Structure 1
Amino acid sequence: MTSRLSIPIAALFAGLLLTSCGHGGSSSSGVDAATPLRLSDADLASAELIELTAGVPVSGTLQPAVDVNITAPLTEVIESVPVREGQSVARGAVLARFRTGTLAPAAASARAALEMSRADHERYENLYKAGAVAKREVEAALANWRSAEAQAAHANKQLEESVVRAPVSGVVSQRFVEAGDRPADGDPMFHVVNTSELDFEATVPSETALRVRPGSTVRLSVSGWSGAPIEGKVARVNAAVDPATRQLKIYVRVPNANGKLVGGLYASGAVVTERVERALAVPLAAVRGDGDSLWVMTVANGTLARHAVRTGVRDEAQDRVEIVSGLAAGARVVIGPLGGLIPGARVTLSGVGGDAADSNAAQPAGPAAAGGH
């Protein structure tokens, strides 16, 4: 009886051993046998050589460097307003004309009175020299002359101001008057701006004050602007830190000769303190890990690979980071929080540019690959 039972028990142990070995072999080749990971072009980016900058973050609003409010110089009825909002004007261009029905005659009368008082003074001077009048009469004639000069100057000034001219070249951004209006002296008439240069005002933390100085380059990205980042220069730095916020105010001048940018746009960027002209860069989202343990995942020949990297300049404006070592230019890196990124895993690419990789990655792992470990 004992000898008959020993054979099945031995066979059972042998079967268990073979089953265990079989499971071990399958596990070792699980990466190759798994279904390929499908990625799109949106999941990949190329490591490329570009200029990167980094520095002190800033944000604020762009405003015209030249901003002029024009008010009514007198109280009179407006005859005409030949300009509209949005219209470009040169310095000295006519913006409005007041009626001169009373101004012109008043100026002519004042000029005549001036000429008469001047002649009277001259006559009294000659009479005084001849001993015919007292000195006080000469002084009175001189006072009348000076008074007539002031009245004539005022009348001529009002007549001249009846034509309102642009004090600067620019664009009429606001018009507050129409023909027929009778604004009071000092009432707003026009708002003229010149955007060939823009001002950008921002604050930086006090601990960065020594890194920001007049002449420092500022690189900005404009909200809603599809063009390349714009650059300006720090024109002025406030002399003191705000004790309440511990922030230092800076003033940046931004060239805008083509006039594509307008006042009021929000911009953000950095005062450049580091610049690398030819940096090997990848998107920030391509770098994984933290601290001293950083890596990127690449796709080549339909296979994922992990590369330990060392990073350098971090350019927030361009959403790029410099790769100092661990990666070659042109490498295709995986971006975004994707799961299943196992080194050695097979990959298929969908979308433009994925055909070449698909030719390799689309082939499922064969029996030889599964069993050969």
Structure 2
Amino acid sequence: MTGWITKKKFLSVSLLIVLAVVFGGLANRSQKPKTDEAVSSKGIDRIPVSVAQVSKASVRDSFSIVGTVEAFREADIFSESGGIVRRVSAEPGVHKRAGDLLFLLDNELATVRQKKAELYYRQKKKDVERYKNLYNEGAVPLSAYEAMQLQSEEALAEFAVASRKNNDARVKAPFSGVVTSRFVEQGELVREGMKVAHIVDLTNVKIIIFVPEREIIRFVEGSMLKVTSDLFPGQFFTGKVSSVSDKSGRDHTYRVEVVLQNGGTTGFRSGMFARVLSAGKDDRLAVLVPRVALVSGIRKPELFIVRNGKAFLKPFLAGREIHKDLEVLGGVAPGDSVVISGQNELYDGAGIIVIDQKKSPETP
């Protein structure tokens, strides 16, 4: 009997210990959410971001646009006469001066006709002098003298035509340049009006650019601009605006031609790309925001602005891009803090904690 009582007491004590452990665990679990709430209330759930201030700085307007290089002058050369090609002096890649012979066509008959016309004209010219003397002496009437004058003028015209025909057998360079193509060979029959060669003048080159309407005011005929190219890194050339179109295209751009001297070891060639640079003359104050603050496309710019520990999504009016900044035309003001890092986790009105604040550019 005594042993049974002892065993019963042991079981009761064990049961009490187990119940104490169970209720103790439940109590700890019930206290844990309160701890989390306390941590949350201390701001651990705020999103870490980096910010920078919208600033006002002195800038100089600049603009660059890529254009295509074209020869200052180029031309297809056509034969004005027909015949067999007797001589070829137009090798591709060879420089020719204005008036140099490129092709000589068979001109034997043309030379004979020219000589015959010249002799006939000289004879008529002498006849005019003879009739003039006879008329002054009263030996011939005025009508006979005038008829002889007319014959002399007709002979002169025939001589001019024959000379032109003979001269057309010599195909010459219209201006100084380099022959780039030749389309006929020696011994080939050439017809009148047939294209025989192509020549380009690269002493000067034209850079053709198409300028947006908001920038066209910068380009004035006669103004000087800088030109550069990726093919000649670190080198700058000076060009002159030679023409500005008065009418825009369908894309609201204007054709502008910039001419520059070409030569030396860094000569431009037709078809190359070049960049035309335009810079304003005077500095001006501009409101700037870091380019990295932009969270949407430039067509509909938005950024996060910081107010009382929260980030608010705000649209703004953007101007031109200046180095790593964007010009602000409206929507935010100098001194405003904007988020420049951590935007991917933000939403409108999100709580934030600033972990880094960039210095704004010095204001003049």
Q: TM-score range by the shorter chain?
A: 0.5 to 0.7
- Asked whether 1:190 is paired with 2:197, we answer yes
Instruction: Tell which deviates more after alignment, 213-222 or 165-174.
Output: 213-222
Q: 1:66 aligns with which of 68, 73, 87?
A: 73
Deviation at 1:292, TM superposition (A): 7.8
Q: State the Cα distance separating 1:254 from its structure 2 match.
A: 3.0
Counterpart in the other structure of 1:161 = 168
Q: Does 2:211 match 1:225?
A: no
d(CA) in 1 for partners of 2:61, 2:201? 30
Rounded to whole Å, the distance in 2 between the matches of 1:239 and 1:74 is: 40
The 5 Å alignment of 1:92-171 reads 92-171=99-178
**What's the offset of the Cα at 1:3?**
11
**8 Å Cα contact 2:218/2:278 also seen in 1:** no
1:250 to 248, 253, 256: 256
Q: Give the CA deviation at 1:174.
A: 1.5
Distance verdict in 2 for CA 1:241–1:64, change over 3 Å: same
Q: Answer whether contact 2:82 2:169 (CA < 8 A) is retained.
A: no
Deviation track 1:198-235 (CA, whole Å, cap 9, x = no partner) reads: 1122222223232332345555565x725346543322
Counterpart CA distance in 2 for 1:120 and 1:257 is 58
Q: Is the 8 A contact 2:227 2:236 kept in 1?
A: yes
Equivalent-residue separation in structure 1 for 2:205 and 2:195 (angstroms):
24
Give, in angstroms, the shift of residue 85 of structure 1.
1.1
Query: 1:60–1:270: structure 2 CA closer, same or farther, 3 Å change rule?
Result: closer
- Percent sequence identity is 21
Task: Tell me the number of residue pairs that the alignment of Structure 1 and Structure 2 aligns.
Answer: 267
In the alignment, is the contact (CA less than 8 A) between 1:172 and 1:193 conserved in 2?
A: yes
> TM-score when scaled to structure 2?
0.59
Question: Which SS does the other structure have where 1:240 is aligned?
Answer: coil
* CA distance, structure 1, for counterparts of residue 122 and residue 111 of structure 2: 17
Q: Which amino acid aligns with 1:85?
A: P
Distance 1:101 1:158 in 2: 11
C-alpha separation between the residues in 1 aligned to 2:110 and 2:226?
A: 54
2:210 to 194, 203, 206: 203
Deviation at 1:274, TM superposition (A): 4.4
Distance in structure 2 (CA, Å) of the matches to 1:273 and 1:216: 12
Looking at structure 1, the residues matched to 271 and 258 of structure 2 have their Cα atoms a distance apart, in angstroms, of 15
Inter-partner Cα distance in structure 1 for 2:222 and 2:142: 66
Q: Residue in 2 aligned with 1:33?
A: none
Alignment of 1:1-373 (within 5 A): 54-55=62-63, 57-219=64-226, 222=229, 225=231, 227-228=233-234, 230-231=236-237, 232-242=239-249, 244-258=250-264, 260-267=267-274, 269-274=275-280, 288-290=292-294, 321=324
Contact 1:212–1:271 (CA under 8 A) maintained in structure 2:
no
Cα distance change, pair 288–207 in 1 and its aligned pair in 2 (3 A): closer
Q: Distance in 2 between matches of 1:187 and 1:313?
A: 52
RMSD (CA atoms): 4.3
Match of 1:104, as an amino acid?
Answer: T
Instruction: Kindly state the Cα deviation for residue 121 of structure 1 after the two structures are TM-superposed.
Output: 1.2
1:54–1:275 contact (8 Å) kept in structure 2 = no
Equivalent residues of 1:53, 1:314 under 8 A apart: no
Greater Rg by CA: 2
* SS of equivalent to 1:102: helix
Q: Displacement, 1:72?
A: 0.8
Structure 1: segments with no counterpart, 5+ residues? 25-51, 277-285, 295-311, 324-342, 345-373
Shift of 1:110: 1.2
Structure 2 unpaired stretches of 5+: 1-12, 40-59, 283-289, 295-301, 306-318, 327-354, 357-364
Name the SS for the 2:124 alignment partner. Answer: helix
Tell me if structure 2 keeps the 8 A contact 1:54–1:270: no
C-alpha change, 1:107 and 1:270, in structure 2 (3 Å) is closer
- The answer to whether the Cα contact below 8 Å between 1:218 and 1:271 also exists between their aligned partners in 2 is yes
TM-score by length of 1: 0.58
Q: CA deviation at 1:183?
A: 2.1
Q: Any conservation in 2 of the 1:107–1:156 contact (CA below 8 Å)?
A: yes
